[in-house]
Structure 1
Amino acid sequence: MSEIRLAAETRTEFGKGGARRTRRAGKVPAVIYGHGADPRHVALVAHDLAHALRKGGANALLTLDVEGGEQLVIPKSVQRHPIKGYFEHVDLLAVRRGEKVTVDVSISVTGEVVPGGLVNQENTSISVEADATNIPTGFEVSIEGLEIGSQITAGNITLPSGTTLITDAESLVLAISEAPTAEQLDAEVAEAAEELGIVEDAPDSESEGDKSGDADKPAEDSAQ
Structure 2
Amino acid sequence: MSQILPMSAELRERTGTGGARETRRAARVPAIVYGAGEDPQPVSVLRKDLIKAVQTGKFLSTLYELDLGGARTRVIPRAVQFHPVTDIPVHVDFLRLKEGATITVDVPVHFTGQETSPGLKRGGVLNIVRHEVSLTCPIDSIPEAIEIDLSTADINDSIHISAVTLPAGVVPTITDRDFTIATLVAPSSLRSAESDAEGAQDGTGTTEG
> Does TM-score exceed 0.5, indicating one fold?
yes
Q: 1:2 to 1:143 in 2, by over 3 A?
A: closer
Residue 177 of structure 1 corresponds to which residue in structure 2?
Answer: 185
TM-score normalized by the length of structure 1: 0.71
Cα RMSD (Å) = 2.6
Residue type of the alignment partner of 1:118: V
Secondary structure of 1:159's match? coil
Q: 1:4 to 1:30 in 2, by over 3 A?
A: same
Q: CA deviation at 1:40?
A: 1.6
Residue 165 of structure 1 corresponds to which residue in structure 2?
Answer: 172
Q: CA deviation at 1:175?
A: 0.8
Residue type of the alignment partner of 1:92: F
Residue correspondence of structure 1 range 73-222 to structure 2 within 5 A: 73-112=75-114, 113-168=120-175, 169-181=177-189
Runs of 5+ in structure 1 lacking a partner? 185-224
Larger Cα-atom Rg? 1
* Contact in 2 for aligned 1:56/1:137 (Cα 8 Å): no
Percent of pairs with identical residues: 33
Q: CA deviation at 1:80?
A: 2.9
* Contact in 2 for aligned 1:53/1:60 (Cα 8 Å): no
Residue 15 of structure 1 corresponds to which residue in structure 2?
Answer: 16
Distance 1:54 1:131 in 2: 25
Distance 2:32 2:158 in 1: 40
Relative contact order, higher structure (CA 8 A, sep 6+) = 2
Distance 2:90 2:96 in 1: 20
* Contact in 1 for aligned 2:62/2:77 (Cα 8 Å): yes
Secondary structure of 2:188's match? coil
Runs of 5+ in structure 2 lacking a partner? 115-119, 193-209
Superposed CA deviations along residues 8-57 of structure 1, whole A, max 9, x for unmatched, are 22223333443232122111111111123332211111223344556793
* Contact in 1 for aligned 2:32/2:94 (Cα 8 Å): yes
Distance 2:160 2:104 in 1: 19
Distance 2:164 2:134 in 1: 12
State the aligned residue count: 184
Distance 2:133 2:63 in 1: 19
